[in-house]
Amino acid sequence: MDNQTQLDAFYAELENDSLQGLWRVVRNMMSRTPSSPARPFHWQWPRLRRHLDAAAELIGVADIAKADRVADRRVLVLVNPGLKERNTTTPTIAASLQLIRPGEVAPAHRHSSTAIRFMIDGHGAFSAVDGEKFCMEPGDLVLTPSMAWHNHGNETDRPVVWMDGLDAPLMMQLCAFFYDDYPKDEHEIVRSPGFSVKKYAAGGLRPMPSAGSSGVSPLWHYRFEDAYRALSNLAQVEVDPVEGAALDYVNPLTGGHALPTIGCRIQLLPAGFAGAAHRHTGHVIYHVVKGEGCTTMGEERFPWQQGDCFVLPPWLWHKHESAGHGESILFSMSDVPVLEALQLYKEELQPQL
């Protein structure tokens, strides 16, 4: 037997005994610097809107519910071209856009996956989370902590669109997914409108924790009005060379991230802002709330406008610029809280040439 035949036979025997030579597979298990199947990618709003409107014509939420009673929502997932088989935006977070027609109900369910809604278009549609109804204006953020019951509805006379962010891919990877349907379409409302904001948005004063407080923020509604005022104030006194004026959504009881698995941030880039380049671990999904500009990721420039979404993979040099004629605002979701919890968050400023 020649050497190759001997080796082939050996490898076949190993496989038979559920073993593998590390030297044959190690390249798929390790990389010298962080590598992700996610690619830098950009979705433009006019196309997103067109497809959402087509989905609104073609697909009824009630029809989805009849076909498959799991997560019956009219949702378009932003599928990263590097993650087609997994139908996700990054390996940790799936971003999607959801359109709800007037009078529609997205039925109540809950899951171990943590979620957020970020309102894009429309006034006054709601998401009800564990018995409180949150009416959303554009730019508002609503949290759906792990295992919180949630249903959505639109009692206005126009369709609404928001962005969903779920850590479902991470939950699947961790094999920690639980899912339940609620026996009724809508969960009972047990709290008065504005309860969460009245109790927990105390403008820098720390509210008293309620019994059973967990690490998750008890404030579930962050209004754009408040975020914008804070951003504008900040931009008057200090603009970070990389991020512009940036604010993270936090748990008002602890000052830590609002959610354990999805880091939410909003940043204002003043007119003509040309950010310095940096790179860090973690994936970021951006949504353009306002304005026009350009983000360079690696060698590629991605010019963006209001409504667009784009993805930044880990450890890729990137920088943000805002057009000269006006300020821009970016909302983003990242897996940075997970990396921080595991002491894996690292950041580098690109050396100036």
Q: Is residue 65 close enough to count as binding ligand 1HN by CB under 6 A?
A: no
Of 168 and 333, the one with the shorter C-beta distance to ligand 1HN is 168
User: Of 45-53, 67-75, 281-289, 297-305, which segment contacts ligand 1HN by CB under 6 A?
Assistant: 67-75
Find the part of the chain contacting ligand 1HN (CB under 6 A) among 8-16, 32-40, 70-78, 189-197: 70-78
Binding status of residue 73 toward ligand 1HN by CB under 6 A = yes
Instruction: Indicate the residue type of 254.
Output: T
Total site size for ligand 1HN, rule CB under 6 A: 12
Encode 175-190: b = buried (16+ Cβ within 10 Å), e = exposed: eeeeeebeeeebbeee
Q: Out of 52, 142, 143, 166, which residue is the one contacting ligand 1HN (CB under 6 A)?
A: 166
- Choosing from 168, 246, 285, 333, the residue that interacts with ligand 1HN (CB under 6 A) is 168
The β-bridge partners of 235 are none
Based on the shown chain and the rule CB under 6 A, indicate whether residue 125 belongs to the binding site for ligand 1HN: no
Residue 335 CB, shortest distance to ligand 1HN, in Å, is 16
Identify the H or E element spanning 5.
helix 3-16
Q: Are 250 and 256 in contact (CB under 8 A)?
A: yes
Interface pick for ligand 1HN out of 55, 56, 71, 247 (rule CB under 6 A): 71
96 forms part of the interface with ligand 1HN (CB under 6 A) = yes
C-beta separation of 150 from 110 below 8 A? yes
- In the chain, the amino acid numbered 97 is L
Q: String of b and e for 290-329 (b: at least 16 CB within 10 Å)? A: bbbbebbbeeeebebeebbbbbbbbbbebbbbbbeeebbb
- Largest interatomic CA distance in the chain: 81
Among 106, 120, 171, 336, binds ligand 1HN (CB under 6 A): 106
Q: Provide the binding-site residues for ligand 1HN, judged by CB under 6 A.
A: 71, 73, 75, 94, 96, 98, 106, 150, 152, 164, 166, 168
